[in-house]
Amino acid sequence: MARIVRIGRKRYWLAGLVVLAAAAAGNWWLNLAVQPEIGPIARTDQRIDYALENFNAAFFDDSGQLTLRVAGPRLNHDAVTRRATVTEPSFEIGPEVQGWTGRSDRGIIDRNARRLTLEGDVKMQRPDPRGELFIESERLEYDEAHATVHSPGPARVEQAGNLLTGGTLTVWIDQERMELTRDAHAIYRAADPAARP
């Protein structure tokens, strides 16, 4: 004769809890086994908020006069300092008044201070009736507010065979004058009669 076994309510609850615990443990184990290992997140330089390729920029003073043009193969703008680093810039300072043109290895545009700093093999020139003026330095700083170009280190100026060198150089753009200081030297050659004013 078959015997009928009755399972009490407590045993149903206990069996249900065991099944539920086994399902939760199995689910946890499957999640560990199936999830791929997450590697380190690559950090990007968050300071650069934009970069430009083959760019050309024009800067104007408060009165709307064009004071500076800068072009180059690449510009990286720093969001925190609001400075832009330019690779191999070419530039025009004071382009509306037959200004200076030139190039350098690197440029830094500081929009807050309205300055352009040129670094590495800086060369700039300007036409002049007495002969084109050439300036060379390792660093030149253009200050738009004072309309000056300054070399804090050695610089050389050439014009019509004349050579001037000095430990520092300041050029006043609007006044068309310059000053060499600290260990200044000059070599003057006889001027070409056709170049005399």
Burial of 52-82, coded b for 16+ CB within 10 Å and e otherwise, reads eeeeebebeeeeeeebbbbbbeebbbeeeee
Same domain, 60 and 105: yes
Least confident piece of the model among 4-13, 42-51, 79-88, 178-187: 4-13
pLDDT at residue number 155: 93
User: Is the same domain home to 159 and 81?
Assistant: yes
pLDDT tens digits along 117-174: 999 999 999 988 888 999 999 999 999 888 889 999 999 999 888 898 889 999 988 8
Q: Helices marked H in 127-184 — which ranges?
A: none
Answer yes or no: do 78 and 29 share one domain: no
Task: Give me the number of domains the chain comprises.
Answer: 2
Q: Does 105 lie in the same domain as 146?
A: yes
169 and 74: one domain? yes
pTM of the model: 0.67
**pLDDT tens digits, residue range 21-40?**
777 776 766 666 665 555 56
- Residues 6+ away with beta carbon under 8 Å from 138: 119, 120, 121, 122, 153, 154
Question: What is the residue range of 191's domain?
Answer: 48-195
CATH of the domain at 60: 2.60.450.10
Residue 2 lies in a domain: no
Same domain, residue pair 89 and 166: yes
25 and 55 housed in the same domain: no
